[in-house]
């Protein structure tokens, strides 16, 4: 049998690993994202809820509108992302600031597309879901795998944050679609997405579905869960909400995030181990 031809321009995996070790000094490198634990998911849901209440606080309570609010949050996202990318290790302030920024800019961007441009929840959800899938496929094709909590190269970090930004925009549209067009309301929508997340968690323990697939499925679902929870807190009673103040709710959720991150393992610097 004829042996397959070897691409002379390809960089051997062993050489790439040696390059990583030379750069980082050892086979143990500092990952730039936190470990995926139960506390991680709680903080993520708080962050997505904060994104909904915070985004609505600017666009609706302060009456800045979707376009202006999107520009403000986009600037916040760029600043926090620069700090995160410049960091050589996981820094909880930088990391969670970027997550919150993606949820807030995702909220106002989705509302602008759905309401101002008139695209509608269903069409925008389909388009954004297709974009998330396309990014994940490109990520796998470009690097050979989709990382979850071992992000320590620039390419993986770019794909990681791009996926999060699009998925958090998708989550806003998806949450509004389920809550407003199905008749379930915001509380019913929250229960639907909580149930779907529970199914993903069960699949983690009961099936052999790749962990990266389940991680990103859960990550996408936490955004509409946070969106419906945020709307449940702040929408008028006539719309099934509790009519809490958006700014006050945002501040309370932000304080809860800070307390949880500062008292759990999420404040530690996770290690990404390179193969020997």
Nearest to 121 by CA among 113, 131, 129: 113
Q: Quick check: 61 pLDDT over 50?
A: yes
Where are the extended beta strands (E) located within the chain?
A: 28-30, 271-273
Tokens of residue 150, six digits: 């071992």
What's the confidence (pLDDT) of residue 209?
92
- Distance between the two ends of the chain, CA-based, in angstroms? 31
Q: Lowest-confidence range among 21-30, 82-91, 108-117, 264-273?
A: 21-30
In the chain, % of residues over pLDDT 90:
45
What's the confidence (pLDDT) of residue 1?
46
DSSP state of 57: I
What's the confidence (pLDDT) of residue 17?
36
Q: Lowest-confidence range among 19-23, 41-45, 81-85?
A: 19-23
Question: Confidence band (pLDDT; 50, 70, 90) for 201?
Answer: very high
Give the model confidence (pLDDT) of 48-60 as tens digits: 999 889 988 998 8
Nearest to 52 by CA among 131, 95, 115, 110: 110
Break the chain into its structural domains and give their ranges: 35-267
Give the model confidence (pLDDT) of 100-144 as tens digits: 999 998 888 888 888 888 888 889 889 999 999 999 999 999 998
Nearest to 201 by CA among 179, 218, 213, 223: 218
What's the confidence (pLDDT) of residue 270?
64
How far apart are the C-alpha atoms of 202 and 221, rounded to whole Å?
14
What's the confidence (pLDDT) of residue 271?
60
How far apart are the C-alpha atoms of 264 and 258, rounded to whole Å?
10
What's the confidence (pLDDT) of residue 275?
45
Mean pLDDT (whole number) for 26-41 = 78
Tokens of residue 66, six digits: 């979707």
Question: Confidence band (pLDDT; 50, 70, 90) for 272?
Answer: low
Question: Confidence band (pLDDT; 50, 70, 90) for 147?
Answer: confident
């Amino acid at each position: 049998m004829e042996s397959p031809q070897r691409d002379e321009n390809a960089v051997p995996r062993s050489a790439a690993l040696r390059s990583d070790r030379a750069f980082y000094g050892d086979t143990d490198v500092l990952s730039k994202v936190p470990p995926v634990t139960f506390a991680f998911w709680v903080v993520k849901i708080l962050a997505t809820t904060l994104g909904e209440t915070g985004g609505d606080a600017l666009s609706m309570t302060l009456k800045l509108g979707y376009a202006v609010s999107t520009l403000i949050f986009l600037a916040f996202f760029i600043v926090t992302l620069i700090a995160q990318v410049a960091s050589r290790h996981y820094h909880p302030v930088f990391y969670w600031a970027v997550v919150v920024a993606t949820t807030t800019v995702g909220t106002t961007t989705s509302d602008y597309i759905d309401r101002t441009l008139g695209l509608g929840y269903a069409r925008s959800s389909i388009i954004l879901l297709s974009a998330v899938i396309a990014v994940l496929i490109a990520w796998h094709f470009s690097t050979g795998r989709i990382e979850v909590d071992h992000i320590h190269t620039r390419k993986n970090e770019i794909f990681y944050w791009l996926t999060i930004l699009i998925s958090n925009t998708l989550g806003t549209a998806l949450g509004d679609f389920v809550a407003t067009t199905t008749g379930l309301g915001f509380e019913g929508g929250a229960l639907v997405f909580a149930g779907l997340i529970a199914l993903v968690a069960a699949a983690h323990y009961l099936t052999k579905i790749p962990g990266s697939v389940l991680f990103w499925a859960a990550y996408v679902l936490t955004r509409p869960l946070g969106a419906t929870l945020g709307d449940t807190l702040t929408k008028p009673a006539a719309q099934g909400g509790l009519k809490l103040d958006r700014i006050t709710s945002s501040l309370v959720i932000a304080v809860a995030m800070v307390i949880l991150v500062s008292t759990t393992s999420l404040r530690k610097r996770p290690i990404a181990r390179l193969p020997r």
